[in-house]
Amino acid sequence: MTITHETVATPDGVVAPRFRPPAGASSSASLSLDGEWRFRLFPHADTGVDRAEPGDDWDRLAVPGHWQLAAAPHSWPYGVPEYNNIVFPFPIEPPHVPDENPTGEYRTTLRVPADWPEGGRTLLRFEGVDSWFQVALDGELLATSHGSRLPTEIDLTDRLRPSGEHLLAVRVTKWSAMSYVEDQDQWWLSGIFRSVTLEHRPDGALDDVRVHAGYDHTTGVGTLRIDAATVAAAPGAVAARVTIPELGIEGASGEELSVDVKPWSAEQPRLYDVVVATDSETVTLAVGFRTVSIEDGVFLVNGRPIKLRGVNRHEFDPLRGRAVTPERMLEDVLLMKRHHINAVRTSHYPPHPHFLDLCDRYGLYVIDENDLETHGFEDDRGWVGNPTDDPDWTEVLVDRVTRMVHRDAHHASIIMWSLGNEAGVGRNLAHMADAVRELDPSRPVHYEGDRSSEHLDVYSRMYAESEELALIGQGIEPPLEDGDADARRRAMPFLLCEYAHAMGNGPGGLADYDTLFDRHPRLLGGFIWEWIDHGLTRTDADGNLFSAYGGDFGERIHDGTFIADGLLLPDRTPSPGLLEAAAVFAPIRIDAGADGALLVRNRYAFRDTSHAELRWTLHRGAEELASGTLDLMLDAGTEAVVRPSADLPLPEPGEAPVWWTVCAVQQKAGALEDAWLEPGFELGAGQLLLVEPAALAAPAGRVTTDADGGFRAGPALFDGRGDLRLLAGRSVHTFRVDAWRAPTDNDRGSAFWHGKSDEERWRDAGLHLLAERKTGVDLTEDGALEIGARVAGPTTRAGFATRYRWQPVTDAPDAVDLLLDVSPEGRWPESVARLGLLLALDEPRAAEAGVRWTGLGPGESYADSTKAALGGAWRHTVADWQTRYTHPQENGARRGVTSAAVSFADGTGLRIDADDVTVGARSQLGVELSLRPWSDEALERAAHPHELVPDGRLWLHIDAAQHGVGSAACGPGVLANAQLHAAPFRMRLRFTTL
């Protein structure tokens, strides 16, 4: 059979798959071929691979790398990246792809070093090539391979001349039959994007080393068995010596050794160097002893239940795409650890093997996922022709999953294998699952797409709503029709392989999900979608750098901003969502109870809290009143209630609230499992409000009238109609009640169970076009100015009846009080975006203004993302107040603000104090405050952050409340406990000129 890029067949002319030891772990010789290769791009796949020496017209291209990103961020000489989430960017007619198929021809001169070992074999290894490629040496075609995120090895032994030069040619197509099974939610990027090496394999080399390193938690004894084999024309076992130098233990391959060890877990990633040696090769592996099991529907590691508080991770760099460097991998792992993430799902393909080395070393549980997704077949015909159910694809899919297991099975961090993602159901799932279990029966098998879980060990779903999750946790979810299959599935742990879609401002509701995980033993936990925004760095026509998403490269078919859905911004700046996840996932959780106490929980599965110190402070604003430590040590999985001492020096109520804050911090460095953090690193925090701020004194001053019929109330000046024209010496551009926000990606989201999105409902109610009509202006007997108004949008009979009561403050000519009472009228949609005031002041240098506030901070928070925000006194500039989401949207709200002082560049300022805030029947501490140097309309129009330009005004939202953010871009919307409905609200505000 002639194999082409449109052929469904396993790789041809390649060496059988083998395990991959860490870099430098083998004594055998290797030579990196990374660097500049000669390159040309052709429009079609029929250019051929020949012996012709490249001429001067050939370019130079970095390997590893993607040809689309070769000159990023300034130019795209080899075609542009394309982003699709589900749909194929070509007709669905497998295995065929378009004739227009960019094909890269790579050339390099291969020189065998003079000291290259004699005998044995010499292999050429590719760690990853996207998507289909052929390899030729000196014009002779040797091999054809695929599996973009999987290794390929080719035997060059009989074709190499010692110390000679050879022309190595590689032809890579952008599209192939394999594109149908690599339809992951990511950029389409092509080329040799992982390293290429020349590797010597001595006779009797260790080509397949299977590590069996278990741990018996009942005896505290580990067991080790190393099975060693060589992969040649006739594979077979080889005898090898096995030693653990640290323990002084020696044995032989195939022998089971009992060892007194400390077990491996993500909390305590204890590794032992295990040396495996034959007469021709020595390999040193970092081995962790641990046992994975499932008992009574509960997932156990070393006999103890664990919870996976994880993320889905695509490999990504904003300039290099999936050609990630070791430095980037380490940065990811350390960021995860420092934000209390303990697990990674390698969505949706095996990662670079070095990433798994780091997960072993630093401690992350891993679901290693097969390079398989066929999502584009889920169209209006319902998975017709899906390779997962096509016998012609069986060998290819089994080849993929077994190459992954062969490569990675020695990693302690891997606790589960995944057959793939969003690839429907079919007969090939059984073949893949059987092949995995034959190679490695020690780990459970995962796959989300088959709800029956017929061939799996874990019941897995994505984006289940919290109500359904609670039923599953209790084992009372709706049954399957097949009683036996239903009973089998109910005996499985349940995993949310994707939840809490972190797109833009969000995700909301993390704490609600985490509470359910803790409450129900069957719930194993979940993986947030996803780790990082995939914004590729590029420049616009004016030279501005920005993060590009779908459509920014002129793609005909794309899925827009859906690629920007991570907890990290593209430059790896943690988003507010990651800070919220860190607070929710904290291993030592400290939460306020309803009885004036804090509940401290040790959520480690294996560690006590002896490495942590509980420090408390009593503080009012930025003033520390007292501090100390709590004498408390908790065993794994236990909890305790702590209360502030009765003799704390509580002050009388003043301008700022008094908080009792308790932080669990790392006490010392040096322990192996804590090598990645510094003393003082926060492991959890919580607080109690002990003293509320004093109520604002009654204003009691009198409003005066001006000769032109206007009114003056301290620093506020009104015209005769009651419109506010001047405040704190600055012209007022806008002042009215508001219920709209620049939509978030989640506001725009509408999964199939939502119907209309929040944004659509809000627009239907005219919230984006609210306007005010005055209904009356009166001076009261006690000297206040009362202004009646109705605020409403077009095409609706619903509105807000509004009463503003302004009154100067006695003995404070620079202060004025506003009592705002608002009542909704008519029929309103299911939710509103916000309830509060919109104020815009003329201020040419608004972005430079400083802001000091007392309230929750230091970062933004919303009704369903509150755990990371703590009460205190904080400081920002207006520019720093903003969160520069990859796609601009509502951001920056600070909640619980009782006072805020804005300092303008000219030395003047405005102070805002808040009191008597109620929404419906609920009273609350402070307001929600947002400040921007641009309007909501500009924020909504902007496609990228650099398009936002200060407009010469300071825009303030002073809200009684705001709608939560949810996860509706791909998942449940705002949960009921964080939804905002039209309701009467009241605020008392004091404005003071500084």
Over the stretch 619-635, which tens digit does the pLDDT of each residue have?
998 899 999 999 999 99
Nearest-10 Cα torsion for 274, 275, 278, 283: 100
Asked if 161 contacts 205 with a C-beta cutoff of 8 angstroms, the reply is no
Cβ-Cβ contacts under 8 Å for 880 (sequence gap 6 or more) = none
Mean pLDDT within 704-713: 92
Which entry of 378, 448, 498, 843 is annotated as an active-site residue? 498
Mean pLDDT within 340-361: 97
E strand or H helix at 520: none
Retrieve residue 140's tokens: 């002779």
pLDDT for 233: 42
Residue 161 banded pLDDT, cuts 50, 70, 90? confident
The verdict on whether omega for the bond into residue 131 sits within 30 degrees of 0, i.e. cis, is: yes
Q: pLDDT by residue (tens digit) across 710-741?
A: 999 999 999 999 999 999 999 999 999 999 99
pTM above 0.85, yes or no: yes
Residue 888, pLDDT > 50, answer yes
Which entry of 422, 448, 759, 860 is annotated as an active-site residue? 422
* 498 flagged as catalytic: yes
Q: Which residues of 441-466 are buried (b: 16+ CB within 10 A; e: fewer)?
A: ebbbbbbbbbeebbbbbbbbbbbbbb
* 267 flagged as catalytic: no
Q: pLDDT by residue (tens digit) across 168-194?
A: 999 999 999 999 999 999 999 999 999
Torsion sign, CA atoms 363, 366, 371, 377 = negative
Residue 752, pLDDT > 70, answer no
pLDDT for 707: 86
Let me know the angle formed at the C-alpha of 312 by 306 and 317, rounded to the nearest 5 degrees.
140
Q: pLDDT by residue (tens digit) across 195-250?
A: 999 999 998 899 999 999 999 999 999 999 999 987 654 456 778 999 999 999 99
Angstrom distance (rounded) from CA 332 to CA 326? 10
Of the two residues 51 and 469, the one the predictor is more confident about is 469
pLDDT for 724: 97
Residue 46, pLDDT > 90, answer no
Residue 753 banded pLDDT, cuts 50, 70, 90? low
Q: pLDDT by residue (tens digit) across 356-384?
A: 999 999 999 999 999 999 999 998 788 99
Residue 51, pLDDT > 60, answer no
Retrieve residue 917's tokens: 């805030």
Angstrom distance (rounded) from CA 778 to CA 771? 21
pLDDT for 234: 47
pLDDT for 825: 95
Alpha-helical (H) ranges within 298-425 are: 326-338, 353-362, 394-408
Q: Which residue has the tokens 């012996």?
A: 51
Angstrom distance (rounded) from CA 818 to CA 82? 53
pLDDT for 380: 73
Q: pLDDT by residue (tens digit) across 577-586?
A: 999 999 999 9
Q: Which residue has the tokens 């509105």?
A: 799
Cβ-Cβ contacts under 8 Å for 869 (sequence gap 6 or more) = 856, 857, 859, 860, 861, 894, 895, 896
Residue 442, pLDDT > 60, answer yes
Q: Which residues of 103-116 are buried (b: 16+ CB within 10 A; e: fewer)?
A: bbbbbbebebeeee
% of residues, the chain, pLDDT over 70? 97
